[in-house]
Chains A and B, each alone.
Chain A
Amino acid sequence: MRKFALIAVPYLWLLALFLVPFLIVLKISLSDIALAIPPYVPKWDWATGFGAFFSQLDFENYIFLTEDDLYWKAYLSSFKIAAISTMFTLLIGYPIAYGMARSPEEWRPTLMMLIILPFWTSFLIRVYAWMGILSQEGLLNQFLLWTGIIAAPLTILNTNTAVYIGIVYTYLPFMILPIYAALDRMDGSLIEAAEDLGCSRLMAFWLVTIPLSKNGIIAGSFLVFIPALGEFVIPSLLGGSGTLMIGKVLWEEFFSNRDWPVASAVAVILLLLLIIPIVLFQRNQQKQAEAEQ
Chain B
Amino acid sequence: MIRLSWFNVVSLTLGFAFLYIPMVILVIYSFNKSKLVTVWGGFSTKWYGELMQNEAFLDAAWVTLKVAVISSSIATVLGTMAALVLVRAGRFSGRMLFSGMIYAPLVMPEVITGLSLLLLFIGLGLDRGVLTIVLAHTTFSMCYVSVVVSSRLVTFDWSLEEAALDLGCSKTEAFRLVTLPIIAPAVIAGWLLAFTLSLDDLVIASFTSGPSATTLPIKIFSAVRLGVSPEINALSTIMITIVAVGVITASLVSKRQLVRQKREEQAAFRAQ
Interface residues of A (CB under 8 A from B): 2-3, 6-7, 9-11, 13-15, 17-22, 24-25, 28, 41-42, 44, 92-93, 95-96, 98-100, 102-105, 109, 111, 113-118, 120-126, 128-133, 135, 137-139, 142, 169, 172, 188, 226-227, 229-230, 232-233, 236-237, 247, 250-251, 254, 260, 263-264, 267, 270-271, 274, 278, 281
Contact = CB atoms under 8 A, between A and B. Distances in A.
Given A41-B123, A122-B239, 14 more contacts: A10-B85, A13-B78, A18-B139, A24-B123, A99-B11, A103-B4, A113-B248, A121-B244, A125-B220, A129-B23, A137-B39, A237-B225, A250-B115, A278-B107
A247 B38 contact: no
Given A42-B123, A137-B38, A237-B224, A263 B115 contact: yes
Interface residues of B, number: 83
B227 interface: yes
B146 to A, nearest CB: 8
A104 B117 CA distance: 48
Most buried by A among B92, B196, B243: B243
27 contacts: A3-B89, A10-B78, A13-B138, A13-B142, A17-B135, A44-B123, A92-B15, A95-B7, A95-B8, A95-B15, A96-B16, A99-B4, A99-B8, A103-B8, A109-B251, A118-B20, A122-B243, A123-B202, A130-B22, A132-B233, A133-B25, A227-B107, A264-B115, A267-B112, A270-B109, A270-B111, A271-B108
A132 B24 CA distance: 12
Given A125-B236, A129-B25, A230 B112 contact: yes
Contacts of A142: 38
A98 B85 contact: no
A142 B112 CA distance: 40
A255 B84 CA distance: 39
A98 B11 contact: yes
Contact of A124 (B22, B85, B98, B221): B221
Contacts of B217: 122, 124
A122 B107 CA distance: 19
